[in-house]
């Protein structure tokens, strides 16, 4: 247990630091009063039980080691949720331009969806953390997806866990159909993106000044007369 705690601690540090830093992206966009490509961010360090399952798949020893750190790039993981599909590429560009991390691999499962219907954009980064032993570079996987994609992926994950990755054919077919329906939803929302953003801006203004909404409605009513 002490060995595992020592091994995983830098991963926990990386997740905590990156969550704070990347959440700052949203705040900066909001201060500029423009649409933010980041809706919200979650993060986790893979539980040891999940690490064990992965070592069995890859045929590597289940022990804290440099080999484990290299073979499992998703021990530390973050998910960045976006409103629109086009926001995903904006987030990818932001990550590419940062100088506090290094993007070393990208996997586009949106343009090239998996057979199951899974869609997401995966980025593997090198992230340096400062420890009392000195700097340590951690591999972190960042998944970037829309809210609809995330809902579908969460359901699929639960079902795969229940059936131990051997889904009945009928459920697999329905899941694939649901994935396409979720993607069509994303496409439809993209078509009315401007209207959605205008409505969100109006709502934000109203929250800050409740009287503003009544003033705007009164002005619109006078214009119609």
In tens, the pLDDT along 39-87 reads 999 999 999 999 999 999 999 999 999 999 999 999 999 999 999 999 9
Reported as a single tens digit per residue, the pLDDT across 124-142 is 999 999 999 999 999 999 9
Our answer to whether residue 141 is catalytic in this structure is yes
Single pTM value for the model: 0.84
Q: Give how far the C-alpha of residue 10 lies from the chain's centroid of Cα atoms, to the nearest Å.
A: 21
Catalytic: which of 71, 141, 187, 188? 141
pLDDT of 221 above 90: no
192: three-class secondary structure by DSSP:
coil
Average pLDDT, the chain: 89
Where along the chain do its domains lie?
Answer: 2-196
Predicted pLDDT of residue 69: 96
Helix extents (H) in the chain:
2-31, 48-58, 66-71, 85-97, 147-162, 169-191, 193-208, 210-224
Give the rounded percent of residues in the chain with a pLDDT score beyond 90.
Answer: 73
CATH number (3.30.460.10, 3.30.56.10, 3.20.20.10, 1.20.120.450) of 2-196 reads 3.30.460.10
């Amino acid at each position: 247990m002490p060995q595992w705690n020592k091994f995983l601690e830098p991963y926990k540090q990386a997740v905590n630091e990156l969550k704070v830093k990347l959440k700052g992206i949203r705040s900066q966009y909001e201060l500029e009063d423009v649409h933010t490509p980041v809706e919200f961010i979650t993060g986790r360090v893979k539980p040891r039980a999940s690490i064990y399952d992965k070592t069995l798949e890859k045929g590597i020893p289940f022990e804290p080691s440099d080999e484990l750190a290299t073979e499992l790039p998703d021990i530390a993981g973050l998910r960045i949720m976006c409103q629109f599909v086009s926001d995903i590429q904006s987030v990818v560009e932001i990550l590419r331009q940062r100088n506090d991390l290094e993007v070393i691999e990208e996997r586009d499962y949106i343009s090239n969806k998996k057979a199951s219907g899974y869609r997401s954009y995966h980025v593997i980064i090198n992230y340096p953390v400062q420890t009392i032993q000195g700097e340590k570079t951690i591999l972190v996987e960042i998944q970037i997806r829309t809210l609809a994609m995330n809902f579908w992926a969460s359901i699929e994950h639960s079902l795969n866990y229940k059936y131990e990755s051997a889904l009945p054919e009928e459920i697999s077919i329905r899941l694939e159909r649901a994935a396409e329906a979720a993607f069509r939803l994303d496409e439809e929302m993209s078509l009315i993106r401007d209207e959605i953003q205008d409505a969100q801006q109006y709502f934000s203004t109203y929250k800050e000044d409740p009287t503003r909404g009544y003033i705007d409605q009164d002005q619109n009513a006078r214009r119609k007369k």
